[in-house]
């Protein structure tokens, strides 16, 4: 049966066909849809959102150790979070097959860095496969499961954005039920205290030697000889890009199993062609191996070290120019940066905090990462998931050593899902070490940026089962915070009051929790009961009253539009959801904006 | 020979559904098909593209600069932004529709004037008032399917079994509306 699937959907399909029983992940572009699609195989696979990637990896390790085939998936930076259990599980190894998907982001479409997670394979000493297409994404999961069980190792499954999010035609198969292998306690295998892990360490090296033989023999690594002039070595989507550019005029060594590398096949291929191009995104992972084997090649000396290696990039590098294009001078294009949506509940907070002086804002990862831009100009920095509380605390401690204007208050800002991910660890640190850092948790009742995944505040699991909400305010109070205030962020008076209240307390830390659902969220029964009036009306601007002061424009709402000629602001009716924030920004003497009367 | 269709617009305009219908129809007609799009941050009101490639055997899932046979812009400034992806012998279908980006909303810069004219001076361009047509059909959201109609007509794909494809891939209550929208779009070319 043929289906049009994205790489992510194909991985889920492959895992289902391979008899996977359990899966866990934390959302992260471009990996999110893998677990979302695994969840569709209800009854066969239990798929769960974990609170972070480390917990997901650990859950999957546990499931594997007791005999089930398992898979976890994360974006590249997510694997940093999960690296600790991965490195040691590389020693102890699975019982049921275990695949670790890393979804890397060459080109950084939705990520804070461009790390090349192929390096993790060598670092953790685990085998790696790299699919090029949706079909391979499905097929290779099944192969990876077999490698995992046969060689007693987790397998790294390296994808990139274009493999994850590109659709192709996939020939699908049926599920092979492999059951759960019987669990037998085995401390020599599963407990890595030094006495035992020193033995495991040696076994890992022996395993790598066996995998080198596998790498030479597997059909995942194959040559396609068309020419003895040009030879291209590539893996992943770069193979498709190279084929687009060179077609049948080049020979190819296509690598699908890239750690350990098939050195024999590489030597043979390089000996048969006059000129070798190694085409790969990010690090010279394959190139270094080719050079170690003593062959000259064109790699990062010709192709860029960053970004995607799309056909135009290859063409520019090899031939000096891309295909013919239409000349434009760019004068008719204005930037279109992503913005907080009309009705976004983060708006009220950023509008108010943006007005404060002598405040430094430690940001985090989520939609609120956009608040560094105009018109809020709010956030000072961000780093990784959950980092706002840690970086905020450290900065506050140093500011507290200073005097006068140099002394600033730090506000650490993150969302509900990010709180449970790792920001709560930083909050414990603030409480324990007693800094006066202010923490603002923008609780929009869902994991927003990645497309609305359930989390501990949303009241549901990925399986659609109801589960008690873990109340952030309760957790924070249990940590020892005395000053905790929850506000409706669309009520600017309350929002301003909360910020002033926290700033006024210079001796102790405060926590503000804003609570209002994401405008794009499908409301649960609880949301409907708690927020009955949310997004039910629209706002309008009386054009006769508007004086064009642009106070409302400072909210950065995309539903507002300023007409420079008429010096008036209007509301794009289709976009407005009636959050009412703009109404409160109109000068009291003017009051040009109001709720629409039906 | 692989053909490339580039659909561009602003996050939330429905380029993804249009691309999905297109790919399903092409697979149904026996072509090898690949489609690529970017999810995530750019969806929040940013510039988006969905790229569809079809033929006997498609390698790259992405269209390279100068590689698109047709550029379909759901918003007219986006046509200018992505114009370097169009083959100089290609054509443009553009929705005569403006969505202001934040620098324009705040009044820092004006929305560029004369876009349709400049496009027309460079390449064969079909300008469509999809918003007006969609409103006339009774639902402003079918703007995307009207533009899809114009696209398939422009690429000579109007003979595919679109009624069935739409019925199989759109909510039953909206199928008739979408079929009408597709036909209306075809009639604009």
> Counting Cβ atoms within 10 Å, is residue A174 exposed (0-12), middle (13-18) or buried (19+)?
exposed
A 444-503 residues inside an 8 A Cβ radius of B: 449-451
Contact B39 A367 (CB under 8 A): no
Cα(A375)–Cα(A337) distance, integer angstroms: 12
**What are the Cα distances from residue A431, in Å, to A112, A427, A434, A478, A509?**
28, 6, 5, 10, 7
User: How many domains, chain B?
Assistant: 1
- In this structure, are residues B109 and B101 in contact, taking their beta carbons and an 8 Å threshold? no
CB A556 within 8 A of CB A378: no
Q: How confident is the model at residue B46 (pLDDT cuts 50, 70, 90)?
A: confident
Q: What's the residue count for chain A?
A: 598
- How confident is the model at residue A53, as a pLDDT? 98
With beta carbons under 8 A apart, name residues in chain B contacting A561.
100, 105
Separation of alpha carbons B106 and A555, rounded Å: 10
Separation of alpha carbons B65 and B83, rounded Å:
9
Which one of A78, A332, A363, A585 would you mutate to disrupt binding with B, by most B Cβ within 10 Å of its Cβ? A332
Instruction: Please say if the pLDDT value at position B42 is more than 80.
Output: no
The per-residue pLDDT of chain B, averaged, comes to: 94
Contact indicator for A300, A287 with CB cutoff of 8 Å: yes
Whether the CB-CB separation of A387 and A426 falls below 8 Å is answered with yes
**Interval A284-305: pLDDT, tens:** 999 999 999 999 999 999 999 9
pLDDT of residue A329: 83
CB-nearest partner of B80 from A2, A333, A449 = A333
pLDDT at B43 over 70: no
Q: Which residue among A167, A311, A553 sits closest to B105, beta carbon to beta carbon?
A: A553
Token pair for A505: 């307390």
pLDDT value at residue A132: 98
Angstroms from B105 CA to nearest CA on chain A: 5
Q: Report A:421-450 residues touching B (Cβ under 8 A).
A: 449-450
B60, B90, B169, best to mutate vs chain A, most A CBs in 10 Å: B60
Q: Residues 150..189 of A with a Cβ closer than 8 Å to B: which? A: 161-162, 165-169
Count Cβ atoms below 10 Å from residue A132 Cβ, excluding itself.
28
Q: What span, in angstroms and rounded, lies between the C-alpha atoms of A443 and A456?
A: 11
The region that residue A193 occupies, defined by phi over 0 for left and psi between -120 and 50 for alpha, beta otherwise, is beta
Interface of B with A in 134-173 (CB under 8 A): 140
Q: 3-state secondary structure string, A358-397?
A: CEEEECCCCHHHHHHCCCCCCCCECCCCCHHHHHHHHHHH
- Identify all chain B residues contacting A450, using CB atoms and an 8 Å cutoff: 40
CB contact under 8 A, B64 and A451: no
Closest of A562, A549, A540 to residue A588, by C-alpha: A549
CB of A548 within 8 Å of any CB in chain B?
no
Q: Which two tokens stand for residue A97?
A: 């097959």
pLDDT at A561 > cutoff 80 = yes
Q: How many CB atoms lie within 10 A of CB B31?
A: 20
- pLDDT at position B40 is 59
Residue matched to tokens 């040559």 = A223
Residue of B nearest to A569 (CA): B105
pLDDT of residue B108: 87
Q: Is the pLDDT of residue B39 over 70?
A: no
H helix intervals, A218-276: 237-246, 263-272
Tokens representing A111 are: 């990520």
For residue A564, the model assigns a pLDDT of 86
Place of tokens 């509306």: B177
The nearest CA of chain B is from the CA of A203 a distance in Å of: 41
Per-residue tokens: A416? 């509900």
Contacts of residue A108 in chain B, CB cutoff 8 Å?
none
B-chain residues near A241 (CB < 8 A): 59-60, 62
pLDDT digits (tens, 9 = 90+) for A438-495: 999 999 999 999 989 999 999 999 999 999 999 999 999 999 999 999 999 999 999 9
Residue A2 with chain B: CB contacts under 8 Å:
27
Of all residues in chain A, what percent carry a pLDDT higher than 90? 95
- A109 CB neighbours in chain B (<8 A) are 38, 40-42
Query: In the predicted model, what is the mean pLDDT of residues A508-515?
Result: 98
Task: Give residue-wise pLDDT tens across range A329-338.
Answer: 888 999 998 8
Chain B nearest C-alpha distance from A416 (Å): 18
Q: Write the residue in B27, B41, B105 that is nearest to A169 by C-beta.
A: B27
Alpha-carbon distance of A334 to A380, in angstroms, equals 25
Specify the pLDDT at position A328: 87
Residue A252's DSSP bridge partners are: A224, A232
CA distance B136 to chain A (A): 16
pLDDT, tens digit (0-9, with 9 covering 90-100), for A20-59: 999 999 999 999 999 999 999 999 999 999 999 999 999 9
Q: What is the pLDDT of residue A574?
A: 84
pLDDT at residue B44 greater than cutoff 80: no
Please judge whether A449 and B104 are an interchain contact, meaning their C-beta atoms are less than 8 angstroms apart. Answer: no
Name residues 79-138 of chain A within 8 A of B (Cβ): 109-110
B101 to chain A: closest CA residue: A336
- What residue of A is the nearest CA neighbor of B34? A168
How confident is the model over A405-415, as a mean pLDDT?
A: 97
CA distance B63 to chain A (A): 8
CA torsion A126-A34-A133-B86 (nearest 10°) is -130
Q: What domain range includes position B180?
A: 3-186
Mean model confidence pLDDT for chain A:
96
Exposed e or buried b per residue across A287-309, where buried means at least 16 C-beta atoms within 10 angstroms of its C-beta: bebbeeeebebbbeeebeeeebb
Buried b / exposed e across A109-122, counting CB within 10 Å, b at 16+? bbbeebbbbbebbe
Please, are residues A537 and A527 in contact by the beta-carbon 8 Å criterion?
no
Distance from CA of A401 to the nearest CA of B (A): 38
Looking at the complex, does the CB of residue A329 fall below 8 Å from at least one CB of chain B?
A: no
> Do the chains contact at B64 and A244, CB–CB below 8 Å?
yes
Burial of residue A508 (CB within 10 Å: 0-12, 13-18, 19+) is: middle
Picking from B23, B47, B108, the nearest residue to A167 by CB comes out as B23
Question: Is B187 in the A-facing interface, judged by CB distances under 8 Å?
Answer: no
Mutation to test the B interface, candidates A234, A333, A370, most B Cβ within 10 Å:
A333
What pLDDT shows up at residue A354?
93
pLDDT above 80: residue B41: no
Cα gap A482→A100, rounded to integer Å: 41
Work out the pLDDT band at A597, boundaries 50, 70, 90. Answer: confident
- Partner-chain residue, chosen from A167, A331, A335, that has the shortest CB–CB distance to B103: A335
pLDDT of residue A330: 86
Among partner residues B27, B39, B81, which is closest to A165 by beta-carbon distance?
B39
Q: Provide the CATH number for the domain around residue B147.
A: 3.40.920.10
Contact state of A449 with B41 under an 8 Å Cβ cutoff: yes
Burial tier of A164 (Cβ tally within 10 Å: 0-12, 13-18, 19+): buried
Chain B residue whose CA is closest to A135:
B34
Contacts of A449 in chain B (CB under 8 A): 40-41, 44
Retrieve residue A444's tokens. 């929009």
- The answer to whether the CB atoms of B61 and A162 lie below 8 A apart is yes
Q: B83: which DSSP letter? A: G
Angle at A140 between CA A308 and CA B57, to 5 degrees: 60
Give the model confidence (pLDDT) of A84-128 as tens digits: 999 999 999 999 999 999 999 999 998 999 999 999 999 999 999
Q: Which domains does chain A have, with CATH numbers?
A: 2-217 (3.40.50.970), 221-319 (3.40.50.920), 347-530 (3.40.50.970), 539-595 (3.30.70.20)
Phi and psi, residue A584, nearest 5°: -75, -15
β-pairing, A166-171 with A2-6?
A: antiparallel
């Amino acid at each position: 049966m043929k289906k049009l699937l994205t790489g992510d959907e194909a991985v889920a399909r492959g895992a289902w066909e391979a008899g996977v029983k359990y899966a866990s992940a934390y959302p992260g572009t471009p990996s999110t849809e893998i677990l979302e699609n695994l969840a569709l195989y209800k009854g066969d696979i239990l798929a769960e959102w974990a609170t972070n990637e480390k917990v997901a990896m650990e859950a999957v390790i546990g499931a594997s150790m007791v005999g089930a085939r398992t898979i976890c998936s994360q974006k590249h930076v997510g694997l940093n979070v999960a690296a600790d259990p991965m490195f040691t599980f590389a020693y102890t190894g699975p019982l049921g097959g275990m695949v670790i998907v890393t979804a890397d982001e060459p080109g950084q479409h939705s990520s804070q860095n461009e790390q090349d997670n192929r390096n993790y394979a060598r670092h953790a000493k685990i085998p790696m496969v790299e699919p090029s297409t949706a079909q391979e994404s499905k097929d290779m999961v099944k192969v990876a499961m077999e490698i995992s069980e046969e060689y007693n190792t987790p397998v790294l499954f390296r994808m990139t954005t274009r493999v994850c999010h590109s659709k192709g035609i996939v020939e699908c198969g049926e599920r092979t039920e492999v059951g759960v292998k019987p669990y037998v306690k085995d401390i020599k295998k599963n407990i890595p205290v030094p006495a035992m892990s020193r033995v495991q360490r040696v076994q890992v090296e022996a395993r790598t030697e066996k995998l080198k033989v596998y790498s030479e023999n597997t059909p995942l690594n194959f040559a396609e000889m068309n020419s003895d002039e040009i030879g291209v070595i590539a893996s992943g989507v770069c193979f498709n890009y190279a084929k687009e550019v060179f077609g049948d005029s080049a020979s190819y060594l296509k690598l699908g199993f890239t750690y350990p590398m098939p050195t024999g096949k590489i030597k043979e291929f390089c000996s048969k062609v006059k000129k070798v191009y190694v085409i790969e995104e990010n690090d010279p992972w394959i190139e270094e191996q080719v050079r170690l084997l003593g062959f000259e090649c064109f790699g990062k000396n010709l192709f860029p070290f960053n970004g995607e290696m799309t056909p135009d990039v290859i063409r520019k590098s090899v031939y000096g120019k891309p295909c013919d294009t239409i000349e434009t001078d760019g004068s008719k294009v204005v930037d279109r940066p992503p913005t907080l949506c009309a009705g976004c509940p983060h708006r009220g907070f950023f509008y108010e905090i943006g007005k404060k002086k002598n405040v430094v804002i430690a940001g985090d990862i989520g939609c609120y990462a956009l608040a560094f831009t105009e018109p809020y100009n709010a956030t000072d920095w961000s780093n990784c998931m959950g980092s706002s509380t840690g970086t905020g605390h450290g900065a506050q401690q140093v500011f507290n050593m200073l005097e006068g204007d140099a002394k600033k208050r730090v506000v650490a800002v993150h969302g509900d899902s990010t709180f449970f991910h790792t920001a709560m660890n930083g909050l414990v640190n603030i409480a324990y070490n007693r800094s006066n850092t202010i923490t603002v948790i923008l609780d929009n009742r869902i994991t927003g940026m990645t497309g609305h995944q359930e989390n501990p505040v949303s009241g549901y699991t990925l399986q659609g089962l109801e589960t008690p909400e873990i109340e952030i305010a309760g957790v924070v109070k249990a940590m020892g915070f005395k000053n905790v205030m929850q506000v409706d962020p669309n009520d600017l008076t309350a929002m301003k009051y909360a910020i002033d209240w926290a700033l006024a307390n210079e001796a102790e830390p405060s926590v503000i929790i804003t609570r209002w659902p994401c405008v794009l969220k499908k409301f649960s029964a609880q949301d409907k009961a708690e927020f009955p009036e949310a997004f039910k009306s629209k706002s309008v601007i009386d054009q006769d009253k508007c004086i064009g002061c642009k106070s409302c424009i400072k909210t950065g709402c995309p539903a507002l539009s300023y007409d420079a000629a008429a010096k008036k602001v209007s509301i794009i009716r289709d976009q407005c959801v009636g959050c009412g924030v703009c109404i409160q920004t109109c000068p009291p003497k003017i009051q040009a904006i109001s709720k629409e009367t039906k | 020979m692989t053909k490339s269709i580039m659909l561009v617009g602003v996050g939330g305009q429905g380029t993804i559904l249009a691309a999905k219908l297109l790919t399903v129809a092409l697979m149904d007609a026996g072509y090898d098909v690949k489609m690529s799009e970017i999810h995530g941050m750019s969806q929040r009101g940013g510039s988006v593209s969905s790229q569809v490639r079809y033929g006997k055997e498609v390698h790259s899932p992405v269209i390279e600069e100068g590689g698109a046979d047709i550029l379909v812009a759901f918003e007219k400034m986006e046509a200018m932004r992505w114009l370097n992806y169009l083959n100089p012998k290609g054509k443009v279908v553009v929705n005569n529709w403006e969505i202001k980006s934040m620098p324009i909303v705040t009044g820092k810069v004006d929305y560029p004037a004369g876009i349709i004219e400049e496009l027309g001076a460079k390449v064969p361009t079909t300008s469509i008032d999809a918003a007006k047509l969609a409103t006339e059909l009774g639902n402003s959201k079918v703007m995307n399917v009207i533009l899809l109609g114009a696209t398939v007509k422009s690429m000579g794909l109007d003979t595919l079994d679109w009624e069935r494809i739409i019925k199989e891939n759109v909510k039953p209550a909206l199928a008739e509306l979408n079929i009408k929208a597709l036909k209306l779009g075809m009639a604009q070319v």
